[in-house]
Amino acid sequence: MELWIVFTLAAAAMQTLRFMLQKVLQGAGLSTGGATFARFLFAAPVACACAGGALWLGGEGLPAPSARFWGFVVVGGLAQIVATFLTVALFALRNFAVGVAFTKTETVQVALFSALVLGEPVSAFGWVAIGIGLLGVLMLSRGPGAGARIIGRPVVYGVLAGGLFGISAVGYRGATLDLLPLPFLTRAVVALAAATVLQSLAMGLWLIWREPGELSRVLARWRRTVPVGLTGVFGSMGWFAAFSLQNAAYVRAVGQVEIVFTLIASSLFFRERLRLREGAGIALVVGSLLLIVLALG
């Protein structure tokens, strides 16, 4: 098994655990913004320490990142903040597994970004897979009752979150490539440290401005919020390491195994049951992602 696949599988598992913890935080008196901020606040010191350690062990001096590097970091970091915010907000609208399933349109959107921005065309086989995935999303977006609207807030939040996660992936891939010729793991942790520091500052200022008192509540509940930050940073290390080794589209395609982890978590920890229509929709989404992997191969 290739190393980037190992990093991707580990990152997907850790990300599922982090989303579980963030869902629990919403029941601990924290707002969506507070639960999102917790993911970045306690990750930043760990990421900086890992970056410093990697540079020291490798005998490398601190690189002088270019404006291009910071552009990738800013775009990727801010896109991830909004995507995480939307994902946490989804948990209050639908059950855990279906909420995260909506964000799986990310792979479809990464394929589109690659074709439009990077000039990497999608094959006919790939577009068939995309169509199947969209059908699955439409099935998942329908409300539980008769006559429910096809398109509602859950699908809007989920598709938008998926797109922003896709932009974030492309940004982080670009940031790691801009640090060449440093070793792949050093590039990953340096880019991660830059992103998490930026995200912590941005989210902190947002909470001070828009949600006075929420910052104090996050800090006061540090016993619950620290695990969110730790799982977030270790999951991000896996993603960044994979991005430094492989094209973001491949990484995100393999990373869709997260939906399997999510279903297990939904059933075992939150005792949430999927309706037949929702199960069929998730099956279509997962099937489309497997087809995309084959198309990329």
The full DSSP string for 10-69 is HHHHHHHHHHHHHHHHHTTT--HHHHHHHHHHTHHHHHHHHHHHHHHHTTPPPP---HHH
Q: Which domain holds residue 141?
A: 3-296
**pTM of the predicted model, to two decimals?**
0.78
Whether 233 contacts 43, CB under 8 Å: yes
* SS3 category, 296: helix
| CB distance 174 to 231 below 8 Å | no
Q: Tell me, what's the pLDDT at 122?
A: 65
pLDDT at res. 201: 92
Instruction: Tokens for 235, please give them.
Output: 């999951």
- Residue among 102, 248, 122 at smallest CA distance from 176: 248
Contact 76, 214 (CB under 8 A): no
How many independent structural domains does the chain possess?
1
CA 249 – CA 242 distance, rounded (Å): 11
**Tally of CA atoms within 13 A in the half-sphere of 256 that contains its CB:** 30
- Each residue's pLDDT tens digit in the chain (297 positions)? 678 888 988 998 888 787 777 666 555 667 777 777 877 788 889 899 999 898 888 777 767 788 989 999 999 999 988 887 787 777 666 555 566 667 777 777 877 777 776 666 667 777 787 778 777 766 765 544 444 454 567 777 878 888 998 889 889 988 998 988 888 999 999 999 999 999 999 988 988 988 888 888 888 877 777 877 788 888 889 999 999 888 777 787 777 777 667 766 666 766 666 677 777 877 887 787 777 667 666
Could you give the angle at the alpha carbon of 10 between the alpha carbons of 9 and 15, nearest 5°? 100
**Secondary structure of residue 157 in the 3-state scheme:** helix
What tokens appear for 292 in the block? 């995309």
Task: Report the amino acid identity of residue 244.
Answer: S
Q: How does pLDDT run across 96-138, given as a tens digit for each residue?
A: 556 666 777 777 787 777 777 666 666 777 778 777 877 776 6
Please report the DSSP string for 58-109 in residue order. Answer: TTPPPP---HHHHHHHHHHHHHHHHHHHHHHHHTTTS-HHHHHHHGGGHHHH
Residues 9/257, Cβ–Cβ less than 8 Å: yes
- Residue 120 pLDDT: 65
Longest Cα–Cα distance in the chain: 64
